[in-house]
Amino acid sequence: MHKTQLLIGEDWVDASAGATADTVDPASGEVVGVFADGTAADVDAAVAAARAGFESDAWQSLSPDARGKLLWKVAELIEENGQELAALETMDQGQPIFISSNVNVPLAAQVFRYYAGFATKIEGKVSPVSIPNQLIYQQRAPLGVCGLITPWNFPLAIAAWKLAPALATGNAAILKPAEQTPLSTVRLAEICREAGIPAGVVNLVTGGPEAGQALVAHQGVDMISFTGSTAVGQEIVKASARDLKRLGLELGGKAASIICDDADVDAAVTGNLQGALFNTGQACGAFTRFLVHRSRVDEFTSKLAAAADSLPIGPGRDPETFVGPLVSEEHLNRVAGYVASGRDQGAELVTGGERVGGDLERGFFYRPTVFAGVQNDMTIAQEEIFGPVLSVMPFDDMDEALSIANSTVYGLVGVVWTQDLRTAHTLPQRINAGTVFVNQLPLIDPGAPWGGLGLSGWGRELGAYSIDEFTETRSVFINLA
């Protein structure tokens, strides 16, 4: 049983009201941890500590090179503690151990190492101007105190890709993980202190919506970086309007995967299944709508359903598991509600569509579900389900496919499957999405920007774009006369 506290400045403390909450293993429904349930008072304390940490000589006097060395040390400690972090992630979130140990923990270390190198490369420029006897230059200045609010689906990796650039650019941070999955983020905060990051520069407040709302509304917070649902993102925009704080929002998605008539169907089935069921479909970039040329739709659907039926379902700790549990009973019921709406609205249920029973009945397991004959105005074709529900939709020509693909309020990810080089290069430009994958499953790399259009959010994370997210431009005018 894990019992965790808040990190305020240099101290690990209980929540000010003494409240705690439980976190459960979604594979069994059993309580595996008790975490401090922070309140607005705890957020006040964390903001004060972060401001003091940001302004401290211990942080301000660090050279960019020294800052980079601290981030590199964090990366090393993540790798040294990789097995522990992966086990925490799997136990707390349910993701298969092959994902937590082979993807998310290595990615977290890679992101810190990437931004460790960026710390010495945050450059300004000199502007040629028409005013005589003036030297005018720009600097990239840190924003100050950044509130980093992370989701429950990939707690460690997403915390890393927010925290690393925030620190590389010289900010102080307050981490606020989702209440469903706090454990790996608590360990990351511990690692930051072990690496030697000065007190107050990294703070941690665990808890539910009250803590998150207080962080967003706090006038001592200069920037909020949030990953989560579109509905919560919209509320954050409203709450931040009073002080116009900087926002970075990575929200929902409804990725369309276009399978052209010349596609390698077997490769498309394998890649789309992995892209759809990665982390049991609990990913904003998951492939969810399969737009298949009518000449190949029957072949694709039958092979997709057969492959989905063959996937091992079980606890994430089992190395054979491909489909793990959903994160909670509440979320399982939400997914089941979408499946019911698909049936009610006339989609053809090909496979799945039910909770897993037997030995897995205590956990939050749901069978991979494939619908055929889906119409674009159906709920399952328009709303983000965030679970193992796959919708197959036929098209007759590329204009129709693009019309369906772009008929959504989201714009995070698009996918193309083709063996034609011209199509591979021209079709992505016509898809309204921040990232388009061609002939592959969704990938994240520290050097490539990630973010969306429309209700998928504002701004970009990762790559050089995160430097812009966490800095402001300052102009300096020098009179040389």
Q: What distances in angstroms separate CA 247 from CA 2, 243, 458, one per listed residue?
A: 33, 11, 8
Q: pLDDT digits over 243-262, tens only? A: 999 999 999 999 999 999 99
Q: Is residue 466 classed as helix, strand or coil in its secondary structure? A: helix
Average pLDDT for 50-58: 98
What pLDDT is stored for residue 439 in this prediction?
97
Mean residue pLDDT of the chain comes to 96
pLDDT at 461 over 90: yes
The class level of CATH for 255-445 reads: alpha beta
Domain ranges, ordered by start, for the chain? 2-251+456-479, 255-445
Q: Is residue 147 classed as helix, strand or coil in its secondary structure? A: strand
Per-residue DSSP letters for 410-465? EESEEEEE-S-HHHHHHSGGGS-SSEEEESS-----TTS-B--EETTEES-BSTTH
pLDDT at 308 over 90: yes
As a CATH number, domain 2-251+456-479 is 3.40.605.10
> The tokens 């509304």 sit on which residue?
217
Q: pLDDT digits over 116-154, tens only? A: 999 999 999 998 888 899 999 999 999 999 999 999 999
Q: What confidence category does residue 1 fall into, taking pLDDT thresholds of 50, 70 and 90?
A: confident
Average pLDDT for 201-224: 97
What pLDDT is stored for residue 410 in this prediction?
97
Q: What angle do CA 255, 324, 75 make, to 5 degrees?
A: 80
Q: Which tops the pLDDT comparison, 108 or 361? A: 108
What pLDDT is stored for residue 129 in this prediction?
85
pLDDT at 359 over 90: no
pLDDT at 337 over 90: yes
The whole-angstrom separation of Cα 21 and Cα 3 is 10
Rg (C-alpha) for the chain, rounded Å, is: 23
Q: How many CB atoms lie within 10 A of CB 448?
A: 12
Active-site residue list:
250
Average pLDDT for 75-100: 97
Average pLDDT for 218-228: 97
pLDDT at 212 over 90: yes
What pLDDT is stored for residue 393 in this prediction?
98
Q: What percentage of the chain exceeds 70 in pLDDT?
A: 100
Q: What confidence category does residue 400 fall into, taking pLDDT thresholds of 50, 70 and 90?
A: very high
pLDDT at 64 over 90: yes
Predicted model pTM: 0.96
